[in-house]
Structure 1
Amino acid sequence: MRLQAFLLILLLLYGAVAQAEPCAAPALVITDISLEGNETTKSQVMLRELTFAPGDTILTEGLEPLLQENQKRLFNLRLFHHVNYTYTCADGQVQVKYQVQERFYLYPIPIFDFADRNFNAWLEKEDWSRIDYGINLIQKNFRGRNEEVRVRVQRGFNKRLELGYRVPYVWRRHNLGADFSVADYRSRTVSYTNLNNRQRFFEQESGMPIKRTSVAAALVHRLDVQRQEGLRFSYHNEQISDSVTFLNPDYYHDAQQERQYTRVELYKVINRRNNFAYPTAGSYFDAMVSQTIFLRNTGSPFTAFRTKYVKYVPLSDKYFYMAGAEGQLRLAGEHAFADNIALGYRSYVRGYELYVIGGQHYGLFKQGLTRQLLDIESIKLKFIDNPKFNNIPLSLYLNSFTDAGYVVDDVFDKGNQLTNRLLVGGGLGLHAVTFYDIVLRLEYTLNREGNRGFYFSARFPF
């Protein structure tokens, strides 16, 4: 028996060596690519993202880097919890298999949100009536083709109705996709001006002082999951009450209570981050130019340019550095207050979350040093049977940061001291990243004005 077992072990070892030996050859040929675990996702959706195909010849030392890079590309589709790969070599030929764990693709997300720019802006008012509620229904990976259907029904302080549909490919030969959306927004209050870089609100007891409706369609040239460019057309109709016009005649400038306009946007995105939810390596670039044309003499046309670049550098296994900049130019003969948006909404200097700095142009710089504190690949929830929900990853990061920004406003700067002034803020933050790309941030900041405090956010800082 011992002799037989010994001979069996030798035979297995010989077979393993014989099978692995061809992988030491200078070049290899990819003969097959198989997929496993994609019960919903169509195979062509995944294969289209790969940078190699059956019949390709690659250098042996480039095999592992190639498979790892494509593993990241599949993961960044945001369709899977996990993406793994295996391969076998025989006679200089390689067979590759990618195994995935699909996510749950129907997201019925209840809406219970604050009717302000951020949590701290809402907390400052201590007004529980400024709450929005409803449901945001998102069907990702619709028909298994990475399409997306969006329905948002929101009530409460701000009322919204939004419908959207995105299809990655309508013309496969040229990698062209499309995005369509319709939105209606109405609110019980409107920020009619800024004073001391704080919003001043008008609230109407009955009726809605502001209404916005829009229709948009975009044609997207999608080279891959990391690079795309597009052309978007949109039509907008906006109305305000006569009380808003009385409080600020420049709210719409030429138009008194209603304006209509079309907008054409051309944009490009190059997203080479290793992880789209919380990147620690790679880079991100986007640029956009738009032309807004008002109908029926309801405004002065303007051209806007916006660009952003961020670099993420891993310093070691636990330490990471990030630095990036963003800027905007808006060129027009005349400016309406409603369009005078710079820092304080989508982009801001941390430490100035309670302020709104309006203007025509702005520049923003952010940098941060991050230390990973915890990285748990999976927390098993034994009381849940569904594998799409019972494994929760959790990562914790300690982040130190400094931000700087500058806003140029030559029209509405009166009474707003932070405009046309260098803004500087910094602090420490604790960031948590968990499943379905959820990012939670708690940060303590100090700004140039001497303001300090804790701020909470639910998205990646830059």
Structure 2
Amino acid sequence: MLFRSTNFYPIVWMLLLLLFVFNPTKASAEGINMDTAVVVVEYKIIGNKTTKNHIIEREFPFSLNDTISKNKLNYIIERTQSNLMNTLLFNFVNVDVVYFTDEIISIYVTVEERWYWWPLPIFEVQETNFNTWWETKNFDRVNYGLYLAKENFRGRKERLVFKAQGGYTEKAEFRYHVPYLNKKQTQGFMVGFNYNRNHEVMYGTTDNKRDFVKMDELYLQEQFVSRINYEYRPKLYNLHSFEVRHHYFSIADTVFALSDEFLEKKDNNTSLFSFLYTFKRDKRNFKSYPTKGYFAEFNVIKNGFGISDHNIDALYGLFSLRKYWKMGSRTYFAVYTKGKYSLERPPFYLLGGLGYNNNLVRGYEFYVIHGEHYGLAKTQFRYALVDNKITYLPFLFSEKFKKVPLSVYSGLFFDTGYVYDRELSKTNSLNNTHLYSAGVALDFVTYYDVVFRVEYSINHLNEHGLFLHFVAPL
């Protein structure tokens, strides 16, 4: 076995320290020669038919009449483009500089807006990831319905979402996000409601596989969640979020008969308040598939307050840090670290862990590893086989779809992780065990945040296989 030590956390913290110390983006922004500079006397915004000018201006890392070192001008132009692309409002952004004299410039920002109205049918698999579903191809675990979303509502970057869904999980959902409430565009809010119910419930894990109970004639779980969120974004790259949630869930006696750990108290009807604080710092060049920059996130989640929340009282924290380097004209390297620490062990219903969606050690797609604490690290070397090639498809119905960008990256990766839990390790061998894997990847990236990945990986159990994913790897 590659690892013998039983303490994984120093590895994660060492990676974090290296990421903060070795920060070439910061180093290049320092060392500015202020002897030669330019003054921005005007800027022009071109191409925005829906988006308000002030939404675009909010992302500028410069202001009118700013004096900018010529050494820093290219960085400012690059950041302007990245900031606007990361709003997810535009398919393309071009930023050009027009020199009136050697010292006086104008900045032209040209945007091509996305399609903002999405009435879409729902057809999705209810699994930890696509590969788990493909193993059985069980259409009983498919959701179907209607998804309605209005992006960039009122031209103010607002988002309105309705969802009506049947199938494995019956669901009704509403969300409304307003990023800017005040004139300075520093405060926003989100409100959401979600009702769902299931005939089948996961009540535990054995051998790191999920244990289910199902009754066709009875809903074993019903849940209603309401939430309100306040956001504070003082400048460009930092975001603070404060959220209060109320959970109401109804659990059938059948579930409690199978698991003593599902909830601390065997109440059929449970009401729970939660508080979440999130801090994000985002300086990636393109959030859907970054190749340069970094992203840091810290979360504190408090489930219940130990007063009238049916004995649920759990506090835990999450951190993640991602760093991306451009090493050559077509070569890139990325590191991702994430950790969770729980002060109190929550009931199984709220426990969580690795193995869901993209929160996993690649190569362990068929497993779930729940636990109180975990550490995760991913690394990937990439080579751009196709670098943002633009293809024009004239037969498509709208100009917002006809111009198609495509990038293709080959990659080598190595992942490692560790999940600790006092109880589940008795029946789940991957708990309290070092996990690691390596493999090769082929990633396809195009517009509207579409990423398609094909990966071949091998894990520490000597299991290997081909896996498909639909989000960026890290």
> When the two structures are superposed, what TM-score results if normalisation uses the length of structure 2?
0.89
Q: Is 1:65 paired with 2:103?
A: no
1:68-101 deviations in whole A, cap 9, x for unaligned? 2212211211111111123322343222211111
3-state DSSP class of the match of 2:423? coil
Cα deviation for residue 140 of structure 1 reads 1.0
Which of 150, 155, 160 does residue 171 from structure 2 map onto? 160
After TM superposition, the structure 1 = structure 2 runs for residues 199-218 of structure 1, keeping only pairs within 5 Å, are: 199-218=210-229
Alignment of 1:175 onto 2:222: no
Residue 223 in 1 paired to residue 229 in 2?
no
Whether contact under 8 Å (2:272, 2:309) holds in the other structure is no
2:427 aligned residue (387, 391, 415):
415
Cα shift at 1:438 = 0.2
Tell me the residue number matched to 2:38.
Answer: 28
Structure number with greater Rg is 1
1:87 counterpart (78, 89, 97): 97
Q: Given that residues 39 and 65 in structure 2 are in contact (C-alpha distance below 8 angstroms), is that contact kept between their aligned partners in structure 1?
A: yes
- For 1:428 and 1:89, locate their aligned partners in 2 and report how far apart those are by CA, in whole Å: 46
**CA–CA distance in structure 2, aligned partners of residues 70 and 305 of structure 1:** 33
Amino acid at match of 1:90: F
2: CA distance, partners of 1:250 / 1:95 = 64
- Find the residue that maps to 2:376 and give its secondary structure: strand
**Cα distance in 2, alignment partners of residues 266 and 392 from structure 1:** 38
Q: CA deviation at 1:230?
A: 1.0
Could you tell which deviates more after superposition, 87-96 or 281-290? 87-96
Q: Deviations over 1:40-64 (max 9, x none)?
A: 0000111121121222222334333
Look up the match of 1:289. 300
Q: Residues 97, 376 of structure 1: CA spacing in aligned structure 2 closer, same or farther, 3 A cutoff?
A: closer
What's the secondary structure of 1:278's corresponding residue?
coil
- Equivalence for 1:387: 399
Amino acid at match of 1:423: L
Task: Please say if residues 337 and 412 of structure 1, whose CA atoms lie closer than 8 Å, have aligned partners that are also in contact.
Answer: no
User: Which consecutive unaligned segments of at least 5 residues does structure 1 have?
Assistant: 1-24
Corresponding residue SS for 1:256: coil
The change in CA–CA distance for 1:82 and 1:415 in structure 2 (over 3 A counts) is same
Matched with 2:451 is 439
In the alignment, the residues of structure 2 paired with residue 299 and residue 122 of structure 1 have an alpha-carbon distance, to the nearest angstrom, of 35
Task: Give the match for residue 328 of structure 1.
Answer: 340
- Displacement after TM superposition at 1:136 (Å): 2.0
Whole-angstrom CA distance in 1 between matches of 2:342 and 2:269: 22
Residue of structure 2 in register with 1:459 after alignment = 471
What percentage of aligned pairs have identical amino acids? Answer: 29
Q: Deviations over 1:174-222 (max 9, x none)?
A: 7111111111111121111101110011111112111111011111011
The residue number in structure 2 matching 1:365 is: 377
Secondary structure (helix, strand or coil) at the match of 1:368 reads: strand
CA shift, 1:114, in A, is 0.9
Whether 1:149 and 2:160 are equivalent positions in the alignment is yes
* Distance change in 2, residues 1:262/1:374 (3 Å): same
Q: 1:230 and 1:297, CA in 2 relative to 1: closer, same or farther beyond 3 A?
A: closer
1:1-80 mapped onto 2 (5 Å cutoff): 26-80=36-90
The code of the aligned residue for 1:377 comes to K
In the alignment, the residues of structure 1 paired with residue 45 and residue 137 of structure 2 have an alpha-carbon distance, to the nearest angstrom, of 53
Q: 1:146 to 1:224 in 2, by over 3 A?
A: farther
Q: Say if 2:268 is the partner of 1:257.
A: yes
- For residue 17 of structure 1, what is the aligned residue in structure 2? none
Counterpart code for 1:64: N
- Partner amino acid for 2:311? G
Instruction: Answer whether contact 1:71 1:84 (CA < 8 A) is retained.
Output: yes
The one-character-per-residue Cα deviations of 1:421-459 (angstroms, maximum 9, x if unpaired) are: 101111111111111110011111111112111111111
Greater relative contact order, per chain length (Cα 8 Å cut-off, separation 6+): 2
Q: Which residue of 2 is the match for residue 110 of structure 1?
A: 121
Task: State whether residues 308 and 327 of structure 1, in contact with CA within 8 Å, keep that contact through their aligned partners in structure 2.
Answer: yes
* 1:20 aligned residue: none
Give a deviation string over 1:280-311, Cα, whole Å, max 9, x none: 11111000112121563513301110000111
Greater mean deviation of Cα atoms: 77-86 or 288-297: 288-297
For structure 2, the residue ranges without an aligned partner over 5 or more in a row are 1-34
> For residues 180 and 263 of structure 1, what CA distance do their matches in structure 2 show?
15
Matched letter for residue 133 of structure 1: Y
Partners of 2:73 and 2:291 lie apart in 1 by 24
Aligned length: 438
Structure 1: distance between partners of 2:414 and 2:399: 40
Root mean square deviation of aligned Cα: 1.8
**CA contact 1:28–1:93 (8 Å) conserved in 2:** yes
Residue 406 (structure 1) aligned with residue 418 (structure 2)? yes
User: What is the rounded CA distance, in whole Å, between the counterparts of 2:58 and 2:144 in structure 1?
Assistant: 39
- Using the TM superposition, name which of 410-419 and 124-133 deviates more: 124-133
Contact 1:258–1:298 (8 Å) recurs in 2: no
